[in-house]
Structure 1
Amino acid sequence: MDPYDSDSSLDEDFTETSVLLGYAAEEVIEDTISHLGGWPSWIDENTPPPGDYAYCKVCNSPMLLLLELHGDLPDHFPNNERRLYIFGCPRKPCNRKPGSIRAYRATRKVSLPGLPLPRPQKEEKKPEKKPEPVAPPKPKQDLGASLFGAASLTSSVSANSNPFSVNPGSSVAGANPFAMPKPATPAGPASQPSSSTSTNALAETFADKVRISSPNPTASASGTATKQTPESAGVQRPWPAQSDFPPPYKNHYLDAEYEAMSQPSTPTIPENVTMEPMEEEGSGGNVDLKDTFESELDKAFMKFSTRLAHNPEQVLRYEYRGVPLLSSYTDQIGKRLHPEHSAGRVTTTGGGSMPPCEYCGAQRVFEVQLVPHAITMLEDGREGVGLGEGDAGMEWGTIIFGVCGQDCAPEKIGQLGWREEWAGVQWEETK
């Protein structure tokens, strides 16, 4: 049986791993941000992605959202607000071509490293305790706003934990979470609870279940920055209007549990029973069934499908700085990432062969991957949606999302940075 990095044993028959599995649900469970399909939403409605990010690199047509994931990592990047996106082209001619599936990360700093997170409420109260000056509180409120960014930023900052966590500023269940967010209201009493929330006082949600307690190593740049950041590139092509996109995939929210796998019992053979090799008729008994059955391709796919079969309803697998589950060792992605076929292993300290971040040169690390059951959920009820030659079904086996290990972003508090990250796509094997 394949070795698993087990954290704990649930009982004699089950083993729990450090991989968090995502499951699709039609109704909101806890997280109103993370979802499959539907329309994307942005951390800041005034800063959508660069318009070029909306288009397939093959046909230059607008793509559809496959996944939006709340990606805050307070144990690694406590000063950063993060969100992850995967888009894919639904047109059949673009299947299996590089650039038809693209991955993005949005990051915004809510504080500078080494400084506490913004707490405007406390800044207002301290001067009021002094009895001598009869100074009005309004000037002090403006001072707090100048220290921690614009008032509109303060009202929209989320101090939530990592992916799939609940956003206090998001709409309640029943509202449409995929519509563009409502404009932020000016900072005031109503915005104080959101801005003063501490990451240590969050409710346990999908995100809080992620065991991300290892310290963030100072990753040295394993490559050279080759791409200009969108925020420094000047005027960007605008994000297309919603009417420019094809009909979206069906929307599903996400819930999660840690991966639990059953341990098959090992059959015992009575002492008085002997085992003889099987012989195929006309083969002379020289057929090695194991070698015939377990080719390099079969071995990878068997491990992939067997692992997924323990929890067949999973749509994604999440383990920041973990190791992705490969569906093939012989395709381009398998040769890059599998330790037997690449120069090293996909680890937190390098050695893997994900391309480095083009914006800062840091080593990329694995964060999340979509698995085949996501296709079933996304395409549910999609019959009859025509795109000319296309929309005939997705053909990928898994989409592996590699992110910058330094989570590079603008240093200015409140400025949102967009980064295109690495999408390693393993397509279905063709016979």
Structure 2
Amino acid sequence: MDPYDSDSSGLEDAGDYTETTVLLGYASTEPTDDTISHLGGWPTWLDENNPPPGDLANCKVCNNPMLLLLQLNGDLPEHFPDDERRLYVFGCPRKVCNRKPGSIRALRGIRKFKSSQSSKQKPSSEETTPNPEIQQQPTPTKPKPDLGSALFGAPPSSSGSSLTANANPFSTSSSPSSQNNPFAPLPPASTLAAKPPQTPVNKLSESFASKVRVSSPPPEPAVSGPVLPWPPQSAFPPPYVEYHLDAEYETLSRPSTPTIPTNTTVENIEEEDASKAGAADTKDTFESSLDKSFLRFSTRLGYNPEQVLRYEFRGTPLLYSSNDAVAAIFPNHQQSQGGHVAASGGGASRNRVPRCTKCGSERVFELQLVPHTITVLEDGREGIGLGKNDAGMEWGTIILGVCAADCGPAEGQAGWREEWIGVQWEEMK
């Protein structure tokens, strides 16, 4: 099998390594320019005076407050130039809730600002009357930005074409209310966002492939009665230690081809030890019995073992298993051909993620957490958790699907949406 045969999109050949359009997140104990995104710790809100409703803080199994696993700056200026976004993933640490639906939940914080298009005033009659003495000047065409370097300070791809399909959320807010982006280009060792693009790019598609279309659920009814406040910190278990996040595009090193010295003689040697042959047969049988998705997952993560999350808006997740309900939602998760894979976003219209319960739009993949997150968050947690009721995390990957239309509250207000979470758990031994 080609070593680059995998689920991610947009491979760029650079000789000794291959760069993909997947953005990898890495935990860091050192502060980064991103002051919003982090693992663990306490969440911060778009409007600290308007936190989410309190019921969104609770595990659906035990109804107790959960711990923050991830907070991510989700601004996507080329898709939603007038939206400020944050993504949150929470998990219940209690043993009784482990492996049960609702023990891991995700929120999308959203604040919409007035569109720059709608803010333009209608021209007066004098302005609309053509003046023959004034020659119309052609509008210059702006060059298409290289989003890889413009958004993150990441080095441009070797082929000269930017990895523009998906934007890096690891940047400070690019909404109209934000300050200047502090992610000016950093030295090559650190690759985070610089200035956001000044012109919006393509609009999102709103349709599924007909053969995998699922019925749109009805919009949720308006909630009546008082809204429960977000619980105070004293109501939560002790949080995980907070880690900063750094990011860079995924690179896959190309394995070297072994060379045989010219003075070496190769002879055919018959296998004399039958036990060796038996051991080889056992190895082949063992490997054939393993889940191919798990082998692909392990191999792909092995190229960059310190990664804690994978980000590719409208991309395709890297599945931990092909034998559970989550895998059935992504039937075309592997789209590889000759070592290369389907273009970015190819899997978005073929998934079966439940549609947004607020507006009925399709949901698309945005990010996933991978097992090294567990290692990072649980390091040193012994003795500060819930004692005998505390359980270690046992998931293989957490996949987040979000509303493709980025639906939200009225203009200028901060609001909240619960998004779809797909959890693939570790195999039981």
- Report how far residue 8 of structure 1 moved: 2.7
1:81-100 superposed matches below 5 A? 81-100=84-103
> Where do 5+ consecutive residues of structure 2 fail to align?
121-166, 186-190, 209-213, 336-341
- Structure 2 counterpart of 1:408: 407
CA contact (8 A) 1:22 1:315 kept: yes
Determine helix, strand or coil for the equivalent of 1:255: strand
CA contact (8 A) 1:296 1:330 kept: no
- Structure 1 counterpart of 2:373: 374
Deviations 1:149-190 (A, max 9, x none): xxxxxxxxxxxx852213599xxxxxxxxxxxxxxxxxxxxx
Distance in 1 of aligned mates of 2:378 and 2:119: 44
CA contact (8 A) 2:68 2:89 kept: yes
Range moving further from structure 2, 220-229 or 388-397:
220-229
- 1:247 is the counterpart of 2:200: no
- Report how far residue 216 of structure 1 moved: 2.3
- Structure 1 counterpart of 2:289: 295
1:181-200 superposed matches below 5 A? 195=177
Which residue identity does 2:66 align to in structure 1?
M
Which residue identity does 2:419 align to in structure 1?
E
From 3, 8, 13, the counterpart of 2:12: 8
Which residue identity does 1:3 align to in structure 2?
D
> Normalising to structure 2: TM-score of the pair?
0.74
- Report how far residue 271 of structure 1 moved: 9.4
The percent identity for this pair of structures is 54
Determine helix, strand or coil for the equivalent of 2:389: coil
Determine helix, strand or coil for the equivalent of 1:42: coil
CA contact (8 A) 1:385 1:391 kept: no
Determine helix, strand or coil for the equivalent of 2:293: helix
From 288, 301, 313, the counterpart of 2:306: 313
- 1:235 is the counterpart of 2:261: no
CA contact (8 A) 2:84 2:174 kept: no
Q: Quickly say closer, same or farther: Cα 1:237–1:274, change in 2 above 3 A.
A: farther
- Structure 2 counterpart of 1:139: none
> Normalising to structure 1: TM-score of the pair?
0.73
- Report how far residue 369 of structure 1 moved: 0.7
> Where do 5+ consecutive residues of structure 1 fail to align?
118-160, 170-193
- Report how far residue 355 of structure 1 moved: 1.2
- Structure 1 counterpart of 2:422: 424
- Report how far residue 228 of structure 1 moved: 2.5
Determine helix, strand or coil for the equivalent of 1:294: helix
- Structure 1 counterpart of 2:148: none
Q: Quickly say closer, same or farther: Cα 1:99–1:349, change in 2 above 3 A.
A: closer
- Structure 2 counterpart of 1:43: 46
- Report how far residue 52 of structure 1 moved: 0.6
From 169, 180, 197, the counterpart of 1:163: 169
Deviations 1:378-429 (A, max 9, x none): 112111124143223111111001101111112x221122111011111111
- Report how far residue 278 of structure 1 moved: 10
- Structure 2 counterpart of 1:184: none
- Report how far residue 302 of structure 1 moved: 1.6
- 1:203 is the counterpart of 2:184: yes
- Structure 2 counterpart of 1:216: 203
- Structure 2 counterpart of 1:32: 35
Distance in 2 of aligned mates of 1:167 and 1:278: 67
Distance in 1 of aligned mates of 2:50 and 2:332: 40
- Report how far residue 15 of structure 1 moved: 0.9
- Structure 1 counterpart of 2:133: none
Q: Quickly say closer, same or farther: Cα 1:195–1:332, change in 2 above 3 A.
A: closer
CA contact (8 A) 2:207 2:349 kept: no
CA contact (8 A) 2:332 2:350 kept: no
- Report how far residue 377 of structure 1 moved: 1.1
Distance in 2 of aligned mates of 1:387 and 1:38: 16
From 238, 248, 257, the counterpart of 1:257: 248
CA contact (8 A) 1:223 1:363 kept: no
Which residue identity does 1:164 align to in structure 2?
F
Which residue identity does 2:229 align to in structure 1?
P
